[in-house]
Amino acid sequence: MGNYKCSSVGIIGSGIQGVCIGLSLIKKGIPVTIFDKNDPNNSNYKMASYGNAGHFSPYAILQFNRPDILYDVPKMLFSSYGPLALKWNYIPKMLPWIFKYVKNCNKTSMMHTAKYMNQILSLSLDAYEEIFKDINISGLVEKKGIFYIWTNQNLKSRNLEIDIRNKFGVKQKLMSKEQILDMEPNLNPVFDAGVYYEDSMHARDPHGILKKIFDLFMKSGGKFKNESVSEIKQISDNNTEITTHKNKYNFEKTVIASGVFSKKFSDQLDEKIPLDTERGYHVHFKNMENLISRPVIFLDRGFGMTPMNQGLRAVGTVELGGLKNPPSKKRIEYIINCAKELLPQLKTHDDEWLGFRPTLPDFLPVLGPSLKNKNIIYAFGHHHLGWTLGAITGKIISGIVAEENTNLDLIPYSSERFN
Ligand SMILES: Cc1cc2nc3c(=O)[nH]c(=O)nc-3n(C[C@H](O)[C@H](O)[C@H](O)COP(=O)(O)OP(=O)(O)OC[C@H]3O[C@@H](n4cnc5c(N)ncnc54)[C@H](O)[C@@H]3O)c2cc1C
């Protein structure tokens, strides 16, 4: 560890990345101010860090940049009842992202992503445990593992996933249909087998956890400005400027942790980072959370259910459609139908929610300094795994800000790969 201490840091975003980075910096004795146009303590806070499926998934090293998935895409798109959907009016705008994604759907890129996702995912739970030592998480986190189930239709893909996870030493337990039903007896037996990640855990209330971490950040001396940031700049070697709708602020360093909204700022810095969104949805079935004991994800359908304090949360699908299109009723119906297929007892639902996964076409986040402005640090693009990666991102980014040495290879997460 070097002797360098940064004098002040501004963070844009109080989602799970922003609060974990803020807390980690405050613990190092560095003064921090978080800016967010949405107050995480407000009951109307509805960002990705609120509505996700709540899985802590250190095993999920294999991402969507895979040759087998690319091969299945046309079939998925021409079925109105599939896990992938497009908002056609947005596709022309997303074409550059789609081309880059297709280029990354080869074995070499797939394995590169798996290796560097594994590097950070394997540290993700320990990083949360460090935070959980200081907050009361009773009733908010459950350690009962996570099930993925499937039919025999796509066994080639299932075998590929199992093999690659084995290669990286990920702990996984293959389960027969009967073994799964023993542990989750309410499930409709429309699946054939599955895998159990017994060491994984899930959030009973992601927003509740976010608020606890934010609270600890504030109690530890952190500052918060409920303001919308319009511009960031590096003024000189030790001075960055954040402009909000109310004021201008100066910090030695600025961290961009604004999820999918980070692209606006990297564009301002004249870096071409192809960040876009995979839209996802959730609904709640109130008072139905006791039908399952742990998250169950039905891989054939691209959807899952998590028992939460708000009810049974049915979550999923990937929709390519940008930030401005309205939510799709069809996607909501799809999730409801999938949930009822697995649990026919379900009846009425509440709380239809659309959220934005921040995704780069190679399915690695961007973590590290801006190429042209070294005092501005990126921390975004955590796609399907941003909830799992919050605490470890906090540690990595605070280490970068404080210019500490690390044993991690951080080059693969640099924005240099796009410029
Ligand atoms: C349907 C769905 C299910 C998911 N399930 C899981 C899961 O089970 N496990 C998992 O690991 N991950 C999951 N994810 C992914 C995860 O939720 C995200 O990757 C993660 O929440 C991103 O966190 P973040 O802090 O980067 O961004 P966000 O949570 O989006 O926070 C960004 C913050 O920046 C603020 N902001 C934006 N623009 C400005 C501005 N101009 N000025 C000030 N503030 C601004 C926003 O208000 C927001 O608070 C899921 C995502 C979705 C959509």
Q: What token pair was written down for 405?
A: 């040495």
Tell me if 400 sits within 8 A of 392, measured CB to CB: no
DSSP SS3 for 63: coil
Burial of 334 (0-12, 13-18, 19+ CB in 10 A): buried
Q: pTM of this prediction? A: 0.97
CA 58 – ligand 1 centroid, Å? 18
Distance CA 62, CA 167 (A): 11
Is the CB of 12 within 6 Å of ligand 1?
yes
**Ligand 1 pocket mutation, candidates 266, 303, 387, criterion most atoms within 8 A of CB:** 387
Q: How far is CA 34 from the centre of its chain?
A: 19
Q: pLDDT tens per residue, the chain (419 residues)?
A: 456 889 999 999 999 999 999 999 999 999 999 999 999 999 999 999 999 999 999 999 999 999 988 888 877 776 767 889 999 999 999 999 999 999 999 999 999 999 999 999 999 999 999 999 999 999 999 999 999 999 999 999 999 999 999 999 999 999 999 999 999 999 999 999 999 999 999 999 999 999 999 999 999 999 999 999 999 999 999 999 999 999 999 999 999 999 999 999 999 999 999 999 999 999 999 999 999 999 999 999 999 999 999 999 999 999 999 999 999 999 999 999 999 999 999 999 999 999 999 999 999 999 999 999 999 999 999 999 999 999 999 999 999 999 999 999 999 999 999 98
Q: What token pair was written down for 305?
A: 């259910």
| HSE-CB for 176 with a 13 A CA cutoff | 3
For the CA of 244, the closest atom of ligand 1 is 42
For the CA of 278, the closest atom of ligand 1 is 53
Q: How far is CA 57 from the centre of its chain?
A: 10
DSSP H stretches of helix in 322-410: 329-342, 390-401
Residue 110 DSSP code: H
Nearest residue (by CA) to ligand 1, atom 44, is: 36
